[in-house]
Copies of this chain bind each other. A is one copy, B any other.
Amino acid sequence: MKTVSGGVCAAKGFRANGIHCGIRKNKEKKDLSLIVSDVPAATAAVYTTNLVQGAPIAVNKRHLKNGVSRGVVCNSGIANTCAAGGEELAEEMARCAAEALGVDEKDMLVASTGVIGPSLSMEPIRAGMPALVAGLSENGSESAARGIMTTDTRVKEVAVEFTLGDKVCRIGGIAKGSGMIHPNMATMLVFITTDAAISSAMLQKALSGDVKSTFNMLSIDGDTSTNDMVVVMANGRALNRPILRDGADFRMFMQALNTVTVALCRRIAADGEGATKLLECVVSGGSEPAVAKAVAKSVICSSLLKAAMFGADANWGRVLCAIGYAGVPVDVKKIDVAFRSDAGTVEVCKNGAGIEFSEEEAKKILLRDEIEILVSLNDGDAAATAWGCDLTYDYVKINGDYRT
């Protein structure tokens, strides 16, 4: 498997674009994106489990009953959530894109991200649609990725190439993250495309299985968004023998999907609101997978640990504390903890108790921008990884006055 460029347009038969249409006041900021498959694509999606849900989610559930779509239209700036008549607006957004593309409105998916509460105005979307469609291109992934960004500071796209039988396939995605990131059974906005031929059912199985160890193991701030959504579209243009059941091809596809989703998770975490560091908590030796997962996620979510990492402070007691309240059975006396970065590794806790270590060495390691928190439970074979970021002054600044 190798990494390739092109994001959601890396796979054959996908075009994308993003423009500024006027939902946002800042003309420098794109606010409307479109991803389109040249042919109908098997499509799978997972959504937030928040009871308060963005209006686009209800629309997508209806449109995806047949497991097929042609594309996704997405705006940023306003979340179209908790606003009167939201579903009608989301349907209208799909219709507007479908008409401009000459496809069935039931084949268009919709997504929105931004402030919860205000009504989404259709005027700028309607006015911008011709230019959005005219600009669709096989080089448009970055532009679409920019159109879905909110407080994100970096474009997030990734793609890989792999082989099924004698066919070269590609799968790639774009994502937005940054704040209100603590996905639960679903995630922020992630759009993934592949030219592999795979049935909707197997695609959904692949996605639903994957998110449990990828997006659901990601947390920026503990807030599960109302609009989380991951969509994968597979248009079959790679001409591989279609994946219709479990087997070697499905496992290969899962591996490719996982490579893309893990890379997107890491980029979302590294670009969390205000973040200066990517944190990765790698848990090994768990008595069972659920234990390893709960421990990894509890550590990555600790405000105290996140602040300590910002300060490059090897305050490992906060790691132990977070493991202790993870809500799963662990034997505290068996736990080892170390911090690792490209500057080295420092062991700080052995058998649940502190050990001597060089604070200077630890500081050097923790001053890097990608930190691994290594937790060995020494109680079995289960492992899990969770991703997050440090808690910084800028997180407070960004969220103390987000709406103005």
Chain B residues near A225 (CB-CB < 8 A): 321
Would you list which residues of chain A between 109 and 137 have a CB under 8 Å from chain B? 115-118
Known: A82-B353, A402-B308. A324 touches B50 (CB 8 A): yes
Known: A49-B325, A82-B320, A321-B116. A222 touches B400 (CB 8 A): no
Complex Cα distance A403/B354, Å?
Answer: 15
Question: Would B402 and A223 count as touching, CB distance under 8 A?
Answer: no
A 352-394 binary contact with B (CB < 8 Å = 1; else 0): 1110000000000000000000000000000000000001110
Question: Would B307 and A51 count as touching, CB distance under 8 A?
Answer: no
Chain B residues near A1 (CB-CB < 8 A): none
Q: A392 to chain B: closest CB distance in Å?
A: 6
Question: Would B324 and A51 count as touching, CB distance under 8 A?
Answer: yes
Q: Is A3 an interface residue (CB 8 A)?
A: no
Question: Would B51 and A303 count as touching, CB distance under 8 A?
Answer: no
Question: Would A318 and B223 count as touching, CB distance under 8 A?
Answer: yes
Known: A323-B52, A325-B51, A393-B396. A180 touches B223 (CB 8 A): no
Q: A400 to chain B: closest CB distance in Å?
A: 3
Q: Is A254 an interface residue (CB 8 A)?
A: no
Stretch at the interface among A59-67, A100-108, A203-211, A309-317: A309-317
Chain B residues near A395 (CB-CB < 8 A): 303, 307, 396
Q: Is A330 an interface residue (CB 8 A)?
A: yes
Partner of A317, one of B81, B303, B317: B81
Q: Is A83 an interface residue (CB 8 A)?
A: yes
Complex Cα distance A392/B81, Å?
Answer: 27
Q: Is A166 an interface residue (CB 8 A)?
A: no
Known: A349-B82, A353-B83. A52 touches B396 (CB 8 A): no
A 282-314 binary contact with B (CB < 8 Å = 1; else 0): 000000000000000000011110011011010
Chain B residues near A354 (CB-CB < 8 A): 82-83, 117-118
Closest to A392 in B: B396
Chain B residues near A226 (CB-CB < 8 A): 317, 320-321, 324
Question: Would B396 and A223 count as touching, CB distance under 8 A?
Answer: no
Question: Would A310 and B396 count as touching, CB distance under 8 A?
Answer: yes
Partner of A51, one of B53, B330, B396: B330
Q: A379 to chain B: closest CB distance in Å?
A: 13
Q: Is A322 an interface residue (CB 8 A)?
A: yes
Q: A188 to chain B: closest CB distance in Å?
A: 13
Q: Is A153 an interface residue (CB 8 A)?
A: no
Chain B residues near A115 (CB-CB < 8 A): 315, 317
Q: Is A5 an interface residue (CB 8 A)?
A: no
Partner of A117, one of B84, B224, B317: B317
Question: Would B311 and A223 count as touching, CB distance under 8 A?
Answer: no
Q: A331 to chain B: closest CB distance in Å?
A: 9
Subset of 5 A-B contacts with CB under 8 Å: A51-B323, A52-B352, A83-B354, A303-B399, A395-B396
8 A-B pairs with the lowest CB-CB distances in the bound complex, closest first: A116-B317, A311-B400, A52-B324, A307-B399, A50-B324, A224-B325, A117-B354, A311-B401
